[in-house]
Homo-oligomer: A and B are copies of this chain.
């Protein structure tokens, strides 16, 4: 009866095209396309025949063809400094959830400290491989030079998460890192600590800059003077924390409290101190930032700053989707942080 239907037979038939559906349903390709995109503009009978034909041949529209014509990819690029940090996983999850519901897919761009990668992700945007981008990395992608000194030009809508990107005129979802950091510093000072150390994040990280400023604000507000020798470098990794711990142990005069710019370093350093016989918080108080899951289950539980990470992801994705849909949205959203006091901090014992 019918010619083409190689439905069940071979496993290796090429995918069905809109043509095949049209032929089987005895309509034009335009009608098939409309039946899917604007069902109300097609007669019920035609629509039924089309749907039946689609089911029969297992038709799935070809995204490349669709994208080529419509210039829409339904894909979003998420740029982040590294996948290897639990801090991002919950944010990613919030993003994924929200994008999925809107029918968007998520492409991951893990920068991993490589400028080469950055160039490629920028060209992803320039090439129209994605409809939009979420930046978790604290600086603009696509500002990289293209070899002739010009920044990549891209019209791809972007939203910055986690931190304001200086000089960038794009919507930003931020938490007030600086204020939270100040609050933590003041809290430690209020416990009587005078020698409050600080463990830094990567030097090129915007979050770090804000948090560091907050630390200095806090010292000042508490009437303490800034002491360069109480500042340790770090890179947000557990290992960096361990290294700082060892460095602190080697000091003659130790700080009485250590504020680490993220939880992982705080945990690493706390562990090192405790292993060496230092009591936390009796001898040294420790505090972190982020409130990752593990912060609550280390011993002693870590005092830290809670960030609404999942909400951050959801909000960022929502704002980007609004942008893509042409619905303008507040260009700047600020989410609340919360000081979480746990067992790792206590009164200073002079």
Shortest distance between the CB of A220 and any CB in chain B (Å): 33
- Docked Cα-Cα span, A68 to B117, in Å, equals 25
- Docked Cα-Cα span, A29 to B290, in Å, equals 52
Contact across chains for B153 and A123 when beta carbons are under 8 A apart? no
Tell which of B15, B83, B89 touches A84, judged by Cβ atoms closer than 8 Å: B89
B residues less than 8 Å from A107 (CB atoms): 75, 105-108
Contact across chains for B89 and A86 when beta carbons are under 8 A apart? yes
Flag A247-279 by CB within 8 Å of B: 1 or 0 each: 000000000000000001001100100100000
- Docked Cα-Cα span, A94 to B128, in Å, equals 26
B residues less than 8 Å from A12 (CB atoms): 155
B residues less than 8 Å from A84 (CB atoms): 89-90, 93
Q: A64 at interface (Cβ–Cβ under 8 A)?
A: yes
Q: A55 at interface (Cβ–Cβ under 8 A)?
A: yes
Given contacts A92-B83, A128-B64, A294-B267, contact A11 B150 (CB under 8 A): no
Contact across chains for A63 and B100 when beta carbons are under 8 A apart? no
Q: A337 at interface (Cβ–Cβ under 8 A)?
A: no
B residues less than 8 Å from A60 (CB atoms): 123, 126-127
B residues less than 8 Å from A146 (CB atoms): 55, 58
Contact across chains for B126 and A58 when beta carbons are under 8 A apart? yes
- Docked Cα-Cα span, A61 to B68, in Å, equals 12
Q: A148 at interface (Cβ–Cβ under 8 A)?
A: yes
Contact across chains for A63 and B127 when beta carbons are under 8 A apart? yes
Q: A326 at interface (Cβ–Cβ under 8 A)?
A: no
Given contacts A73-B64, A120-B100, contact A293 B105 (CB under 8 A): no
Shortest distance between the CB of A262 and any CB in chain B (Å): 13
- Docked Cα-Cα span, A152 to B55, in Å, equals 11
- State the copy count for this chain: 2
- Docked Cα-Cα span, A152 to B242, in Å, equals 50
Contact across chains for B96 and A108 when beta carbons are under 8 A apart? yes
- Docked Cα-Cα span, A271 to B242, in Å, equals 21
- For A91, the closest partner residue in chain B by CB is B83
Tell which of B55, B68, B105, B120 touches A147, judged by Cβ atoms closer than 8 Å: B55
- Docked Cα-Cα span, A312 to B242, in Å, equals 26
Q: A26 at interface (Cβ–Cβ under 8 A)?
A: no
- Docked Cα-Cα span, A117 to B96, in Å, equals 11
Contact across chains for A238 and B297 when beta carbons are under 8 A apart? yes
Q: A225 at interface (Cβ–Cβ under 8 A)?
A: no
B residues less than 8 Å from A110 (CB atoms): 92-93, 96, 100
- Docked Cα-Cα span, A298 to B274, in Å, equals 11
Shortest distance between the CB of A297 and any CB in chain B (Å): 4
A104-124 with Cβ < 8 A to chain B: 105-108, 110, 112, 117, 120, 123-124
Q: A82 at interface (Cβ–Cβ under 8 A)?
A: yes
- Docked Cα-Cα span, A127 to B65, in Å, equals 11
Q: A129 at interface (Cβ–Cβ under 8 A)?
A: yes
Contact across chains for A83 and B73 when beta carbons are under 8 A apart? no
In addition to A63-B128, A85-B89, 6 A-B residue pairs with Cβ atoms within 8 Å of each other are: A58-B146, A61-B127, A83-B89, A97-B112, A100-B110, A105-B124
**Chain A residues packing against B (C-beta within 8 Å):** 11-12, 15, 55, 58, 60-65, 67-68, 73, 75, 82-86, 89-90, 92-93, 96-97, 100, 105-108, 110, 112, 117, 120, 123-124, 126-129, 146-148, 150, 152-153, 155, 238, 242, 264, 267-268, 271, 274, 293-294, 297-299
